[in-house]
Structure 1
């Protein structure tokens, strides 16, 4: 190859790289965001009690809103059939178990 052909080939390579990067960036901007799982529904006090009793059968002594690990929760206190006293916390906004402590 002579110098002119080499220069043209290099120039084309640079231009192609520049436009490919621009096209890729444009596609990235217009592409839909990655799918994010939708948060679960808010749970009621009754649902929290039902979930707590499934996990720790016994007698519910108290249920109230509380904060645990920085999350708004339903705290369910249970005198368990296993002889333990349980405090079970479910996040109100998702229904996720935050903590289950026995005494």
Structure 2
């Protein structure tokens, strides 16, 4: 974790594919998110973050699509990494599965 924490203050370009592959190999989804602040002071990502995309021509199972339970987030502001965070999606799995079932069902039914 020290190696990852040492990236704070560095340019976002320092996050190389080796770091991403290492995190993914231990079950993390990696997100590199630029952020802004709301008026209340809470940060939020500038661009929407998608957990994954369902291929309408080749629908795979939910467990294959959402193989991870944690997201490792590199937060950056104007290209400078300011924070890292691990976000656990375990409590959201029921809702994610319901959304997946709805979308997959609509695809199957045309």
TM-score norm. by structure 1 comes to: 0.30
Q: Greater strand share, 1 or 2?
A: 1
TM-score (norm: length of structure 2): 0.29
